Structure 1
Amino acid sequence: MSVMFLRDQVKLLEQNGYEVKIVCNNDFDKTYKDMELDHIPFEREINITKDVSALYKLFKYLRRESPDIIHFSTAKAGLLGMIAGFLSRVPTRIYSIWGLRLETTSGIKYRVLHTAERIACALSTHVVVISDSLEEEVVNNRIVKRDKVVRIGKGSNDGIDLEKFNPENIPSTQVETLKKELGIKPDDFVMGYIGRITKDKGSNELVEAFEALSADHPNLKLVIVGDFEESDAIKQENIDKIHENKNILLCGYTLDIHKYYRLMNLFVFPTYREGFGNVSIEAQAMGVPVVTFDVTGARDTLARGQTGIIIKNKSAAGLAEAIRHLIEHPEVLEKMAGASRKFITENFDKVYIQGELLKFYDSLGTPPDVEPEVKHT
């Protein structure tokens, strides 16, 4: 999935004289279109035998290709990539931290993940973080020293395409057809969620808050766009509610998500850990206010009180209270909706973020086919 976030960055670098090669695990269920990939069998979870095998293959790959720069993201690939890059003497080794899994773990697993992050950062030459609060988290947890940390622009992993995520560019006929298919009526208030259905994403609290609000607001609908994950499964009773409650509309995973935001009055993002939170800025770009928990990354995606609400109390009750306030004060919701797209345009425009990314790459050395005097510093 990481590759999908990187497509535009790869094109940007290639257009500016860089030769780029992409390495990831082999997943034939995904379509990468015009991107060519080299496959190394990374595993998301800890598996000593497979991890050592992947490390060896990655080391051989880097020795053969002899890159000037490597840039790895996600915890496992980052650890193996930084070790292999260090051993194969790649001069510039960038590790991107998109989030910290250790934030929602404890005990031995926490110590293992913390150690792995520290090793990856120690073997890197640069550590890219995608939000202000993530930078504070990695520095305060002694994972990396601040002088090695880089943040591109205001954050995010690639900014947002303001043409794609523009409510004016979604034909009203598409929206009306989708509403009809889902059974959404003109006077319904629609809460929306897009993402994996897991404990860490706050899916239990999402369902429980919706249940609590439904008694007083029978016209309330919950649209969920995403799939269940067994590795971090939510309560069985909440799985049953999602399947059985006629006002909870489960739409499943799709790449064509921008039109779903047009159904929503409010986007609900009750995540327990996040590096940033692209869905939050996508929603706001579509003019949809956001309610989220006060957690790393997520709090950086909105203007507190202006484009949404940040909830200190990470619970179903706290979530329900914030949503209830916006349902019962439509003038507040409308004001937030009006400010949302402007906030995203000013801070997370993909064109700006990619320009800053290119400056970062160019600062690492003389760019290919570019004279030294025009190099960004």
Structure 2
Amino acid sequence: MKQKKLIRLTTVPISLDKLLEGQLRFMNDHFEVIAISGDEQYLKKITQREGVRYRTLELTRKITPLNDLIAVYKLYRILRDEQPEIIHTHTPKAGIVGMLAGKMARVPLRLHTVAGLPLLETSGLKRIVLNTVERLTYKCATGVYPNAFGLSKIIKDLQFAPHNKLKVIGNGSSNGIDTAYFNPEDFSLEKSNELKQKLGIPQQDFIFVFVGRLVSDKGINELITAFINLAQSESKVSLVLVGPLETDLDPLAPQTLSAIEDHPKIFKLGYQDDVRPYYAFAKALCFPSYREGFPNVVLQAGAMGLPSIVTDINGCNEIVEDGYNGLIIPPKNAEALQKAMEKLLHNESLRSKMSKVSRSKITDNYERKVVHNAILSEYQRLLPNE
């Protein structure tokens, strides 16, 4: 029997690489999977690893109406050529382009995963435009999948889509977490001490770690402010930043950039293929983001046995229970963040208790194989029986 075709579309290939790692390979056992994104060289590398075909479609993350219309037409041509049973999109731009082209090409199942709403941090004309785009995306979709229950509630409250079109799969998360890969037992104290020495971090320091893009809406301005204030009274603390500095869409404040470059206890490591060693030598994750879908970083840190300081936003407040496996603070509040950092720094028994339950919280609820099977079951439920 000829396999049904499944197309997975993202705006940029790093989303296929990092946010959906392993999922394309899993689905390829049940469908003929075709990955579509930009940057052909990077895309080819990902699809070789996953064992799937690819088609290239260049998309911009910014609002570029002419380029976006051209992309819709190009994708329409690809869909008419491939004739898939399912197109499943991730990220906002891929969502609108994919759902429009999918409807035009009469793809039977047009599914869009929502992993955060950037529009929540906008206002004025830009907010009106983004609201319209989001509504149109959901209107063209046959199914909309927020990857967190809090996100689903926001979409319902904003009346972007009818309730019967929305569904959270499993406990949330777009891809789950490979807890065999993110396992603290694979990293010895000796290895961690060697890495600290290599980076110039004092061995006795309490290390806070942040993993993600260094942009304003990840709460980096507040994190740097909180850490600088903390370090004025606490000499044995360090902050490690793991992730790319992005200066185009959502730049950091000039004083934040200066502090990152100049402060002797802030270590900017840039993008890292393997983030596990940095979780392994840290004592706590700081993740003061303004908005998230269902953050992989908090899942990773939990699987590595770290307590997390997160903001009270959807996704984060579903993974972290305040006082149990981490601390929850208000967003955009450097003072509250500093107090939470002080609490974990000084209360070793609390930190130890949180660390012990952090991993089991993830393995019990967000194991990758469970998430993959739940998504597959949804595909199979939607496809007509033959």
Q: Is the structural similarity TM-score above 0.5? A: yes
Task: Work out which of the residue numbers 200, 204, 214 in structure 2 matches 1:187.
Answer: 204
Q: Is structure 2 residue 29 aligned with structure 1 residue 15? A: yes
Q: Say if 2:99 and 2:137, in contact at 8 Å, map to a contact too.
A: yes
Instruction: Report the secondary structure of 2:113's partner residue.
Output: strand
Instruction: Summarize deviations over 1:96-128 as a string: whole Å, max 9, x none.
Output: 111101011111111111111110101111101
TM-score by length of 2: 0.92
Task: Work out which of the residue numbers 125, 128, 133 in structure 1 matches 2:150.
Answer: 133
Separation (CA, whole Å) in 1 of partners of 2:350 and 2:49: 44
- 1:146: how far off? 1.7
Q: Is structure 2 residue 312 aligned with structure 1 residue 310? A: no
Stretches of structure 2 that go unaligned for 5 or more consecutive residues are 1-13
- 1:268: how far off? 0.1
Instruction: Summarize deviations over 1:327-363 as a string: whole Å, max 9, x none.
Output: 1211111111111001111111111111211111111
Q: Is structure 2 residue 84 aligned with structure 1 residue 71? A: no
Q: Is structure 2 residue 49 aligned with structure 1 residue 34? A: yes
The RMSD of aligned alpha carbons is 1.5
Q: Say if 1:93 and 1:125, in contact at 8 Å, map to a contact too.
A: yes
- 1:172: how far off? 4.1
- 1:52: how far off? 1.1
Separation (CA, whole Å) in 1 of partners of 2:294 and 2:33: 25
What letter corresponds to residue 49 of structure 2 in structure 1? D
Q: Say if 1:294 and 1:314, in contact at 8 Å, map to a contact too.
A: no
Task: Work out which of the residue numbers 268, 271, 275 in structure 2 matches 1:250.
Answer: 268
Q: Is structure 2 residue 276 aligned with structure 1 residue 263? A: no
Separation (CA, whole Å) in 2 of partners of 1:325 and 1:131: 28
Instruction: Report the secondary structure of 2:234's partner residue.
Output: coil
What letter corresponds to residue 263 of structure 1 in structure 2? F
Q: Is structure 2 residue 43 aligned with structure 1 residue 25? A: no
Separation (CA, whole Å) in 1 of partners of 2:220 and 2:331: 15
Q: Say if 1:129 and 1:151, in contact at 8 Å, map to a contact too.
A: yes
- 1:48: how far off? 1.5
What letter corresponds to residue 81 of structure 2 in structure 1? R
Task: Work out which of the residue numbers 348, 355, 377 in structure 1 matches 2:373.
Answer: 355
Separation (CA, whole Å) in 2 of partners of 1:86 and 1:366: 18
Q: In structure 2, what is the equivalent of residue 341 of structure 1?
A: 359
TM-score by length of 1: 0.94
Q: Identity of paired residues, percent?
A: 34
Q: In structure 2, what is the equivalent of residue 328 of structure 1?
A: 346
Q: Say if 2:156 and 2:162, in contact at 8 Å, map to a contact too.
A: yes
Written as runs of structure 1 = structure 2, the 5 A alignment for 1:68-217 is 68-217=85-234
Instruction: Summarize deviations over 1:207-251 as a string: whole Å, max 9, x none.
Output: 000011011110010000012111211111111111111110111
Q: Say if 2:313 and 2:331, in contact at 8 Å, map to a contact too.
A: no
Separation (CA, whole Å) in 1 of partners of 2:204 and 2:274: 25
Q: Say if 1:40 and 1:58, in contact at 8 Å, map to a contact too.
A: yes
- 1:70: how far off? 0.7
What letter corresponds to residue 303 of structure 1 in structure 2? E
Q: Say if 1:223 and 1:249, in contact at 8 Å, map to a contact too.
A: yes
Task: Work out which of the residue numbers 15, 20, 44 in structure 2 matches 1:6.
Answer: 20
Number of aligned residue pairs: give it: 367
What letter corresponds to residue 359 of structure 1 in structure 2? S
Stretches of structure 1 that go unaligned for 5 or more consecutive residues are 373-377
- 1:303: how far off? 2.0
- 1:366: how far off? 5.1
Change (3 A) 1:191 1:7: closer
Separation (CA, whole Å) in 1 of partners of 2:211 and 2:158: 30
Separation (CA, whole Å) in 1 of partners of 2:283 and 2:147: 27
Q: In structure 2, what is the equivalent of residue 375 of structure 1?
A: none
